[in-house]
Chains A and B, each alone.
Chain A
């Protein structure tokens, strides 16, 4: 075997790593630019706009004036705060919506489903999973239209079924719009909780449950005493994520347009109406800032939990 001489003009490496700092910086640049312009700049711009009276059209579209806290004061005006179509109403509505459809609806239904499909025959498991997941993956406009048809006053599937068992038809979108979007969002999003809890359950060694079986535990006892305590971390993660997603969701707009008479106007829809139907960008921006502050609070909690979980290992 021959010995090849080492090339003497080899470039010097100050501190070896698989990707040099210069190459790393170059690799990060495209993503950095895109994220800066479309995520980080909007964050600061929205704060700036919220202190102006910028509009979509007219004089203040081009030359917005600085108005201080006027937009915020308008949002929090005690005289109108709780009135329908005002910010306070929307905020409270959203809170109720998150509580009912995410924290209670999605999380509980997801937990129940995840537990049920552990034990049922495979074909029932597969069928149930298929529909639950279909509700989650199909595009939102399709889902919006599906529910529009499903709830139709005259011919919708729901009323057809009610009639079949002798109950009167109802115009649910008109009579119970809030509960419609609660059920709608529960239906739409339960899949995520189900899958998260399902993977959490399957990460528990089967021997834990077998040991409980030997000790004579019932299914409920196994659920309460073994499964739930072991997946507590997953439950917290899940609750924060679905809270954030539900808080920001715009999908109910596709079913109700925020109506009738503002009764399903969640903050995201309120924000849209103020900015793009009433053309008050300054006020819309103020709504955006408040939404982001709420998001920030949840995100900080979420990330601090994620960090704590990682810390002991690393």
Chain B
């Protein structure tokens, strides 16, 4: 290798490593504080290394209730999004309903126009009019409606890429449309469904604004809102609890991300986060 080329490679590597380090810095604290019984906002190596903060979290009824609420809302939303998006995407891909192209276009348009932060007033009013204020269902339905257009679109593309000959061969062999859907189509599109399920779960689990405006009582509050109230309202935050709690709360997201990148490759997830 010529000298300038070698020099260039070293410079590139150094620059990449520096940027990586800059991205790591704000997160470093999270690697240490959860395991430090005396953690404060400063960066410090735990001494001794302890899991006592996690015990504090598990003993905190409010925190555990909030995690449970997050789970209810995320799972509820995911079931709705997964089921409704699968059916709708299959119809958009496989039926010859007139105007389905226009439907897809309008859905995409609306879903990008009606963002949570632009539509918070009418969403609040609709939930309020439906008498669902401060319920899990309010959050579940709002997220399902908001995530569905994108989920349908991703899944429709996925189904479009699957040869129609799967269902055709089943029908020629004597299967009814219902049999062809459940025996052949559904198993074949399962990877696509997994992706939108993971994507919706991560979105609902991590979101703050919608539950923040739709929920009042601590009995229904998800972890996202709980963490915010821990560090914004309580005067001096209980840093030890918060650090461990945030870590626990982040784990499902990290685990799902690792799962998707292991199962479908890294880039696939890249394109689909809202």
Q: Which of A139, A158, A272, A281 contacts B117, CB < 8 Å? A: A272
Known contacts: A45-B126, A137-B273, A155-B40. The answer to whether A18 contacts B180 by CB under 8 A is yes
The residues of B that contact A32 with a CB separation of less than 8 Å are 88
Are A192 and B273 interface neighbours, CB within 8 A?
Answer: yes
Interface status of A17 (Cβ within 8 A of chain B): yes
Known contacts: A121-B13, A145-B227, A250-B208. The answer to whether A39 contacts B23 by CB under 8 A is no
Are B88 and A43 interface neighbours, CB within 8 A?
Answer: no
Are A250 and B116 interface neighbours, CB within 8 A?
Answer: yes
Interchain CA distance A276-B120 in the complex, whole Å: 9
Are B95 and A117 interface neighbours, CB within 8 A?
Answer: no
Are A285 and B122 interface neighbours, CB within 8 A?
Answer: yes
Known contacts: A152-B42, A302-B112. The answer to whether A124 contacts B13 by CB under 8 A is yes
The residues of B that contact A129 with a CB separation of less than 8 Å are 20, 266
Interface size class of B (residues with CB under 8 A): 35 or more
Are B144 and A43 interface neighbours, CB within 8 A?
Answer: no
Known contacts: A20-B95, A34-B141, A192-B270. The answer to whether A139 contacts B224 by CB under 8 A is yes
- Minimum CB–CB distance from A281 to chain B (whole Å) comes to 5
Interface string of A164-200 (1 = CB under 8 A from B): 0000000000000000000000010011100110110
Are B121 and A19 interface neighbours, CB within 8 A?
Answer: no
Of B46-54, B55-63, B186-194, B247-255, the one contacting chain A is B247-255
Interchain CA distance A272-B214 in the complex, whole Å: 12
Are B96 and A139 interface neighbours, CB within 8 A?
Answer: no
Are B253 and A18 interface neighbours, CB within 8 A?
Answer: no
Interface status of B8 (Cβ within 8 A of chain A): yes
Interface status of A102 (Cβ within 8 A of chain B): no
Interface status of B246 (Cβ within 8 A of chain A): yes
Interface status of B263 (Cβ within 8 A of chain A): no
Interface status of B27 (Cβ within 8 A of chain A): yes
The residues of A that contact B118 with a CB separation of less than 8 Å are 46, 248, 268, 271, 288, 291-292, 295
Known contacts: A27-B95, A155-B40. The answer to whether A42 contacts B114 by CB under 8 A is yes
Tally A-B pairs: CB < 8 A. 325
Interchain CA distance A251-B208 in the complex, whole Å: 8
Interface string of A219-247 (1 = CB under 8 A from B): 10000000000000000000000001100
Are A141 and B227 interface neighbours, CB within 8 A?
Answer: yes
Are B122 and A125 interface neighbours, CB within 8 A?
Answer: no
The residues of A that contact B110 with a CB separation of less than 8 Å are 35, 39-40, 43
Which residues, 85 to 101 on B, are CB-close (under 8 Å) to A? 85, 87-88, 90-92, 94-98, 100
Q: Which of B19, B213, B254 contacts A276, CB < 8 Å? A: B213
Are A154 and B119 interface neighbours, CB within 8 A?
Answer: no
Interface status of A214 (Cβ within 8 A of chain B): no
Which residues, 133 to 155 on B, are CB-close (under 8 Å) to A? 141-142, 144-146, 148-149, 152
Question: B: which residues have CB within 8 A of A?
Answer: 8-9, 12-13, 15-17, 19-30, 33, 40-43, 80, 83-85, 87-88, 90-92, 94-98, 100, 103, 105, 107-126, 141-142, 144-146, 148-149, 152, 164, 167-168, 171, 177, 180-181, 202, 205-209, 213, 223-225, 227-228, 231-232, 239, 242, 246, 249-250, 253-254, 257, 266-267, 270-271, 273-274
30 contacts between A and B (CB under 8 A): A19-B177, A23-B177, A32-B88, A35-B145, A35-B149, A39-B110, A41-B126, A43-B114, A54-B125, A117-B16, A120-B12, A127-B20, A128-B19, A128-B23, A142-B30, A142-B250, A148-B41, A148-B231, A149-B29, A152-B42, A157-B43, A248-B115, A267-B117, A268-B118, A272-B120, A281-B125, A285-B122, A288-B122, A291-B117, A292-B114
11 new A-B pairs (CB below 8 Å) besides A34-B148, A299-B109?
A: A31-B87, A109-B19, A124-B13, A145-B242, A146-B30, A149-B239, A150-B25, A191-B270, A198-B270, A281-B124, A295-B113
